[in-house]
Amino acid sequence: MNPSHKPVNVGRVLSARASTFKPLPMTQALFDSGKGPEPQAGGDEPPQALRGLGDLNDGEQFSGAFVVRERELRQKKNGEDFLKLQLGDKSGSIPAIAWDRVAECFHACSPGAVVVVTGRFAIHPQFGRQIKMASVRAAEPHEYVEEDMAEGPAKSAEQLETELRELLDTLQNPSLRELLDRFFGAENPAWERFRQAPAAKHYHQAYAGGLLEHTLSVAQAVSAAANFFPGIDREIAVTGALLHDIGKTEAYNDDPLAIDMTDAGRLQSEIPLGYYNVRREIEEIEGFDADLAQAVLHIILSHHGQLEHGSPVVPCTREATLVHSMDNLGGKLGSFDRLEKALGDGESWSRFDRGIESAAFFGARAA
C-alpha cells in the first residue's frame, strides 16, 4: 500500500450550502444542449421523502441522497460549461447532468461528498438510466445512512477470506506458497490493502472489497477448470490467477465512495505495477526456480489477452490462456448483473453494453 494513501471516512459530507438549478423539461435528453421547451405547469415539485436509485421509476420526479462518485466539467458546442456527475448508492451508480449554475454545482459536488439531489429520473433508449438535475445541496447527517452509500460484495469479507484461505491450502509447491504468503499472509499489510481495494473504477466490482471478490472468483474458476484440460499445471495457474490483478492495490485510491486511479495507476497502469511487485518478491525468495517465476510473471503480463487491451504480451502458455479466459468470462457475466439492475419492471432486454458487445436478454422477466 502506498503510504500516501489516506483512507476516507465514508460518512463525510460538505458544509450545508445550497445550490439551486432550473428544472429541466421532461422531453429534454440528458446529453443534449440543455435547451428545450419550458416544463408544463404543475407536477414539478419533487416529493419530500428521499429515494434510492433502486426505487426510481422512469419519468419520476424525485429527491434522493447520493454520493458523488465522479465530477467532470464539460463544454457544450457553444463553449458554455455543463457538469456531468456519477451519483451512486449501494444499488449502483447513475449519470446526472447540470446545465445551469454550473459553478455552484461543481463546488457542492466534490467526489466523495453525500448530496441531496432533486430532479427527474429517466431511462433513455441510447444512454440508459439518467438523472436530469433540478437542484443539489449537501446532505445533512440525518438524511442518509452511511452503509447505504457504498456498494459491496454479495458475500461478507470474512466469508471471502475463508474461501481464499481454503484455496491457498490446496497448493503444495513451497516456493509458490511463500510467494503468495507475501501478499495474502493474514498479518501482512499488503493483505489489508488487498482486502479493501476495488477491482475497477467502473463496471465489475467497482467497490471496496471488489478486488478480493473478483480475484477469488477467477482463481476458483481456474482451479476447477484446470482439472478438465490436460497439460495445465494447476498450481501455476491458480497462483497466477490470485496475483493477476495485484497491481490494482496501487492503481486505485482508498476512497470507497469516489474510486479513482492514483498517479501511479495513470502513469504506469496496473499490469506493470503488478508485474514489478511480484517479480520483486520472487527475487527475494531464495532458490525460486527461474522457469516457475517466468510462468507466473507471464500470466500477470498477459491476462488482458490482447495488446490493445493493455497486455504487454499475449497469452502464450496453457496456464496464461486459462487465466485470461476466466478473467474475461467474469467481466462479461458481471455485465449481465449490472444490466439486470438497470431494467425496468417487465423489461426483458437491456440497452447495448460494451462489455458484452450486445444487449442482454433476460427472458424470465418477460412473463
Low-confidence stretches of the chain (pLDDT beneath 50): 1-47, 366-367
Cα distance between residue 341 and residue 331, in whole Å: 16
Three-state secondary structure call for residue 289: coil
Give per-residue pLDDT as tens, 313-340. 999 999 999 999 999 998 888 888 777 7
Terminal Cα distance for the chain, rounded: 49
Cα distance between residue 150 and residue 11, in whole Å: 10
Cα distance between residue 308 and residue 3, in whole Å: 32
At 230 the pLDDT is: 92
Give per-residue pLDDT as tens, 84-136. 998 988 877 889 988 888 888 888 888 888 999 988 888 877 667 888 888 88
Closest CA to 178 of 223, 247, 248, 239: 239
Which domains does the chain show, CATH number per domain? 18-148 (2.40.50.140), 157-336 (1.10.3210)
At 216 the pLDDT is: 97
User: Cα–Cα–Cα angle for 315, 319, 323, nearest 5°?
Assistant: 75
Joined together, the cell numbers standing for residue 231 give 497439460
At 203 the pLDDT is: 65
At 17 the pLDDT is: 29
Q: Which residue has the cell 479513482?
A: 260
